[in-house]
Structure formats: structure tokens, C-alpha cells
Amino acid sequence: MPSPYILGLSCFYHDSAAALLKDGVIVAAAQEERFSRKRHDDAFPELAVAYCLREAGISIADVGLVAFYDKPFLKFFDRIMDTWLAAAPFGLPGFRAALPAWAGNKLWMRRALRKHLGYPGPILFPMHHESHAASAFLPSPFAEAAVVTLDGVGEWQTTTIAHGKDNDFEILSEIRFPHSLGLSIAPSPITPASR
């Protein structure tokens, strides 16, 4: 019989977190910063995972599926590489600055998750905005609802509109990068004219 437990993870970007579900019901969820005391902690959520497993009274061996909140390979090789190549040669400094993080854990996420968790089982990588929509609609009290996500950018999507019904949802429409409400660039500060 498959395990009823699913562990959801977010890490290596900002606000690392873990959530544990049993038969589709949230058992525990926490951000790593609540334990590490580091604001917007992006490290692997080791303490948050330990908290979730402790709350359920289980170990990682009892987890049937781990889900990570986006598709790192698609994000890097499709959007990021495409964007930096389109901005060449001007995008090179940004590409060089980001490459070490991608060459480390971000690009090899499956391996990183297995290493940190000691978990040999299946790992799922849903689309970023599917993760946002699921986290909003599925624990809600509504049997049916419109689900709108607004974010900087996931793989390519920046905004989605979905129809949620029962325990599922379907994305009906989207706005794609570079068009994004969440990636607006702050204007330069206005300085008074010198006299």
C-alpha cells in the first residue's frame, strides 16, 4: 500500500519551507526562517522538515512522495539561458553572477533533495504557478473557485488564471515572461534639482 504522506519543499531561492500532507490534508507546514532566525532563509529547510515529520510522528522513510515547487531544469535551460542569450553581450555579467548558484544545488535539485533528505523515493517537480495555485485552492474551504496567481516569474509564467474544482484545478490563461506585475523595476529615487 502506498504511503499517504507527501512532503512539499521550497529551497535555494528565498523563504525555504516544508509542508507535509497526509491523504491530501495538511499535517504541518513551516518556513525555515522560523527555526533558523534568518530572515528569508534560502537554505535547505532541514529544521522545517524535521518539525513537519515530528508533528506527524513519522520519519522520512514513511514519506511516499516529495514535491519540489518548480522545474529547475526547464527554468534554467529554457527561460534563463534564452533570456541571457537574447541580451548578449550585455547579459553576461548577470549570467556570470548567477551561474555558481545554478551549477551548485539549483540545477541538480533531485540529487540535492536526495542528499539532504536521505530519501530514495519518487520526487515530483510541478510547474511553479501550479504550486502557487495548489497552495491557494486545495486547502481553501471552497469546492469550486477562480484561482489567480501573480508572481515575479516561474519557468515562463508570471500570472495565471485557473478554475479549481473539488481536488483539482486547470490553468485557463496565463501571462508569460517578460511581462510581469511581480518583476516591476523600482524607479530611480527622485533627487531635488540643485540650485
Q: How far apart are CA 29 and CA 9, in angstroms?
A: 10
Output the pLDDT for position 73. 77
Task: Determine phi and psi for 165, rounding to 5 degrees.
Answer: -145, 130
Output the pLDDT for position 101. 72
Average pLDDT over residues 8-22: 95
Lowest-pLDDT choice from 123-127, 136-140, 152-156? 152-156
Output the pLDDT for position 193. 46
Confidence of residue 186 (pLDDT cuts 50, 70, 90): very low
Domains of the chain: 1-126 (3.30.420.40), 128-177 (no CATH)
Judged against a pLDDT cut of 70, whether residue 195 lies above it is answered with no
pTM of the model: 0.83
Lowest-pLDDT choice from 41-55, 60-74, 104-118, 165-179? 104-118
Output the pLDDT for position 192. 44
Output the pLDDT for position 185. 55
Nine cell digits for residue 19: 509542508
Average pLDDT over residues 155-181: 93
Output the pLDDT for position 187. 46
**CB 17, CB 32: distance < 8 Å:** yes
Judged against a pLDDT cut of 80, whether residue 170 lies above it is answered with yes
Q: Tally Cβ neighbours within 10 Å of residue 44.
A: 20
Q: How far apart are CA 100 and CA 179, in angstroms?
A: 27
**CB 117, CB 66: distance < 8 Å:** yes
Q: In what order do the strands lie in the sheet with 168-176?
A: 144-150, 157-165, 168-176
Q: How far apart are CA 29 and CA 132, in angstroms?
A: 15
Lowest-pLDDT choice from 45-59, 68-82, 162-176? 68-82
Per-residue pLDDT reduced to its tens digit, 81-119: 777 777 778 877 877 777 777 677 777 889 999 999 999
What average pLDDT is seen over the chain? 88
Lowest-pLDDT choice from 10-19, 43-52, 80-89, 138-147? 80-89
Closest C-alpha among 114, 117, 119 to residue 50: 117
